């Protein structure tokens, strides 16, 4: 399958059937090279309610008649904004056209800043364990390091993990290396860095640190894709 990185935490997966995009923060991202109008997806998956993740979710959902998959409270809010939404919660899994989603915990916060400037409760922040065909992909969302990542890694072989390395708002590179070890992921792609000054990181150095632990890492630039 083709995996396209849109910058920050946004990843598009062209699964057959059922293409999906995770955390489509595109028009607000100074580093993104994608046009929101060009995004075609049947599903929009959100890890949590912060604006640098929900971004263009409603626009993309509406232009594609796509379903937003998010934690219950956030899903309800997206529905209120006129998008189709499917609510889930931590630990639960559900099947969709592309495969299975299990929502995992993430240690973070999750208010949704409404258009009226009001902070709306957006439920718990989450990570996503996706099973698409014979591949398992883990998108950690925004989170600190937590030792249950060992549990995910021992429960199911993870082919690809997207891990935040930006620090300040999520784990930084050192903790992300530990996360990669615990997840026992075959390939790790860093996300959530360089978009804004407080999350500036050297992603190549992170990949080097992974290599020292015998873990394969790969930097994807915004607009770059890979096949899995
Ligand atoms: Ni966040
Ligand atoms: Mn974030």
* Concatenated DSSP letters of the chain: -EEEEEETTEEEEE-SS--EEES---TT-TT----GGG---SEEE-S-S-HHHHTTHHHHHHHHTPEEEEEHHHHHHHHHTT-EEEEE-TT-EEEETTEEEEEEE--S--EEE-TTS-EEE----EEEEEEETTEEEEE--S----TTHHHHHHHS--SEEEEE---SSS--HHHHHHHHHHHT-SEEEEES-SSSGGG---HHHHHHHHHHTT-EE----TT-EEE-
Distance 179 CA to ligand 2 centre (A): 18
Q: How many A from CA of 105 to the centre of ligand 1?
A: 13
Distance (Å) from CA 50 to ligand 2 centroid: 6
Q: Give residue 50 CA to ligand 1 midpoint distance, Å.
A: 5
pLDDT tens figures, 2-58:
999 999 999 999 988 899 999 999 999 999 999 999 999 999 999 999 999 999 999
pTM to 2 decimals?
0.97
Is 103 within 8 Å of 88 (Cβ atoms)? yes
- Ligand 1 center to 33 CA (angstroms): 21
175-210, pLDDT tens digit by residue? Answer: 999 999 999 999 999 999 999 999 999 999 999 999
Report CA(109)–ligand 1 centroid distance (Å): 7
Give the per-residue pLDDT at 113: 87
**Stated length of the chain:** 228
Confidence of residue 116 (pLDDT cuts 50, 70, 90): confident
Between the CA of 142 and the centroid of ligand 2 the distance, in Å, is 6
Tell me if 7 sits within 8 A of 55, measured CB to CB. no
């Amino acid at each position: 399958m083709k995996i396209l990185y849109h910058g920050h935490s946004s990843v598009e997966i062209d699964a057959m059937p059922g293409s999906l995009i995770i955390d489509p923060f595109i028009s607000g991202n100074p580093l993104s090279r994608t046009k929101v109008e060009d995004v075609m997806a049947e599903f929009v998956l959100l890890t949590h309610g912060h604006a640098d993740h929900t971004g263009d979710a409603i626009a993309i959902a509406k232009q594609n008649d796509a379903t937003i998959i998010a934690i219950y409270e956030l899903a309800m809010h997206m529905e209120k904004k006129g998008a189709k939404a499917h609510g889930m919660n931590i630990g639960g899994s559900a099947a969709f056209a592309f495969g299975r989603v299990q929502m995992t915990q993430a240690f973070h916060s999750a208010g949704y800043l409404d258009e009226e400037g009001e902070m709306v409760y957006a439920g718990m922040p989450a990570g996503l364990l996706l099973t698409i065909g014979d591949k398992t992909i883990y998108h950690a969302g925004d989170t600190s390091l937590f030792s249950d990542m060992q549990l995910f890694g021992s429960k199911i072989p993870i082919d690809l993990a997207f891990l935040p390395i930006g620090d300040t708002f999520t784990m930084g590179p050192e903790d992300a290396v530990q996360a990669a070890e615990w997840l026992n992921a075959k390939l790790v792609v860093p996300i959530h860095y360089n978009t804004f000054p407080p999350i500036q990181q050297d992603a190549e150095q992170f990949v080097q640190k992974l290599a020292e632990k015998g873990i394969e890492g790969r930097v994807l630039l915004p607009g770059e894709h890979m096949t899995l």
